[in-house]
Structure 1
C-alpha cells in the first residue's frame, strides 16, 4: 500500500483569529477550545495555513479597528510563536517548499471592516494581508453575498476595489460572493482569483457551493478551488465522512480541475465536523485515505502543490 508519509498540506481557510479575539486568554499552542493549534498543524504536516480575519456582526458593526485588532493577534500569537513564519511575497512562496518551517498567510473574510475606504485596503496590504474575500454571506459596501436575496453584483466602490487589487497584487476570493458578483468579477479582473472554501453544488446543493459552470471558469482562468470540511457543504443533511469529501474531489477533477483543487477547511468557523476531519492533525489520516484511491502526485497536488504554485505565481513580488 502507498504511504502518505511526508505529505505537506496547505489549508486556505481557518477562523482561529476571531476566536482569539473573542477569548484573549486562549493559547494558540495547544488550547482545546481551538480546532487549529500549533501542535495540530505540526501533527498534520501543515506547511501553509491561511488565517482569516472574520468580523462577526454579533460583536458589533465591523470596523477597521477590529481588523487591526485581529492583525495584531496574528502577529502576537501566531507569528510570535516563532514556529510559524509570515508568507507575504512571491519569492517566499517559491522558497517555502524546501523549508521545514510552517508559513501563515493573512486574509480578510469580507471587506466590511474596510468601511469602503481604499486607503484602509492599502494599509492592509502594507501590514501583510494578501487575500480579500469580497463578502461574507450578505451585502456589504462592495458587493452582495451569496445569501443576499437580490443576488446583486459589485457596487461602484466594489469595482474600484477590483481595480485596486489587480494593481496592488492583492488576491481575491469569491467564496461567499453572490453568483452575479462572481460573473462580474470574471469580466473585470485581469488576474485569476480563488474560492478558498467552497464545494461542488452538483454533489451537495448548499447555496455556498459552486456550480459546474463556476468551477469550469475557475479552472479556465487558472484559479483555485479549496474544498471545505463544513459538513453541510459536503453532504446534504450533514453527517459527512471523508469519503463524502472524495465525491467532491472526483467531481471537480472530472471537470478538469486536478491541478486547480486544494483545501480550505474552515476549521474554527464551524461547530460540527466531518467525522475523522475534526482538526488539522487529521490531515495525515486523510492523506492515507486519498493515496489508497488516487496517484500520489495528484494527492500531493491537492494537499499542497496546487495551492503553493498559485501563490508562487500570483503573490506580489518583494519590493
Structure 2
C-alpha cells in the first residue's frame, strides 16, 4: 500500500515531555517514532498539545504548553525529515515532498490557556492551527463529555470561539458534550472537525458521535477522524480492523465518504486494535478498505479528504 497518510491526532509530544524520552528515532515503546512514521508512509502528522492536572505538576499552565512546544522544536524538528507546516501556501509543496513528514500542532483542551486570549494568539503565532476545546471534563470555557452537568459555553468560552474564527484556527469537537456541540454550531460559521471520534450508532460510547452530529459536521463540510481507540470501537477483549471498518461504513452511509479521515490517537492509548498497534501499521487498515471500497476511496480516507480540508481552512500567510 503506497498511499501517503494524514493522521489528525496523536499524543507523542505528551509522552516525550512527561517521560523525558525525547529521541524521536528510538524508544520502541512509543507508537510514533521516526522509523514508524516512515514505515507507515505518513506524510502529515497532527501533534496534540495535551496538558493534564496532576499532583506533581499541579493544574494545567501555559508554561507547560511552552515546554511541550520546545520539545517539538528541539527534538522533532531537529530531524531533517520532519517539517513544520503552518500556512495554506506551504501545503502544495508539502504534498510533493515525498521525503518529508509534515507536522501541524493542535491544542487538546484549552485549560492551560488559563482563560487568557493573549495565550491563544501566542499559540497561533507558534503554529497551533486546531483547538480542541476540552478533554472530557469542564474547564473555564466549556463542559466535556464526562462532565455530569453537561453544560455549554461560558461567556469567556464564547469569546474564545470568536477569536479562533478571527485567527483562522479550526475548532475540534472531539471531547465536547452534545449540548455544547450544538451550541458551538450556533456560535460558529466555519467548518469543524472531530479529530478522533467514531460512530455512536455502532458503539454507544460518550466520546462517539450521534448520527445527527455526524450529519451536521458533513453539512458544514467538516471532517471526522476515525480513531483507533479500541474502547471507542467495540466492547470486546480483542478489537479488530474489521470492527473499526464498521464505523467507517456507517459514516459513509450517512454521506460522509468525502468527510472521513484518520485520527489514530497513537501514544494516547494503552490498548490497541489488532494490527494497528503503531504508526507503521496504517497501511493494514488501508489494505482492508481498498478491498471493500477501491483505490479512490482509500486515497480519500488516507489523505485526500484531509488535504482538501486543509487547503480550504488553513490560514493564509497573506491574510
TM-score range with shorter-chain normalisation? over 0.9
1:225-240 mapped onto 2 (5 Å cutoff) = 225-240=224-239
Task: Report the alpha carbon displacement of residue 57 of structure 1 after superposing the two structures with TM.
Answer: 1.4
Bigger mean CA offset, 98-107 vs 194-203: 98-107
Secondary structure class of the residue paired with 1:204 = coil
Structure 1 unaligned residues grouped into runs of 5+? none
Consecutive unaligned residues of structure 2, counting only runs of 5 or more, are none
Cα distance in structure 1, aligned partners of 2:110 and 2:172: 11
Root mean square deviation, CA, Å: 1.0
What secondary structure is seen at the aligned counterpart in 1 of 2:46?
strand
From 5, 8, 11, the equivalent of 2:7 is 11
Structure 2 counterpart of 1:33, from 29, 47, 63: 29
Equivalent of 1:45 in 21, 33, 41: 41
| Secondary structure of 2:107's aligned partner | strand
More divergent stretch after superposition (104-113 vs 16-25): 16-25
Cα displacement (A) at 1:95 = 2.7
TM-score, structure 1 normalization: 0.97
Q: What's the counterpart of residue 78 of structure 2?
A: 80
Aligned residues: 315
Match of 2:161 in 1: 162
Hey, what's the Cα distance between the residues in 1 that align with 2:285 and 2:144? 31
Q: State TM-score, norm by structure 2.
A: 0.97
Whether the 8 Å contact between 1:192 and 1:223 is mirrored in structure 2 is yes
8 Å CA contact 2:40–2:281 kept in 1: the answer is: yes
Which runs of structure 2 are paired with 1:113-132 in the superposition (5 Å)?
113-132=112-131
SS of residue paired to 1:132: strand
Cα separation, 2, equivalents of 1:289 and 1:30: 29
Partner of 1:223: 222
Q: Contact between 1:52 and 1:109, CA under 8 Å: does it hold in 2?
A: yes
Q: Displacement of 1:287 after TM fit?
A: 1.6
Structure 1 CA distance, aligned partners of 2:221 and 2:78? Answer: 34
Please say if residues 206 and 236 of structure 1, whose CA atoms lie closer than 8 Å, have aligned partners that are also in contact: no
**In structure 1, distance between residues paired with 2:154 and 2:52:** 22
- Rounded to whole Å, the distance in 2 between the matches of 1:36 and 1:234 is 21
The CA deviation at 1:60 is: 2.2
Distance 1:285 1:97 in 2: 22
Cα shift at 1:238:
4.9
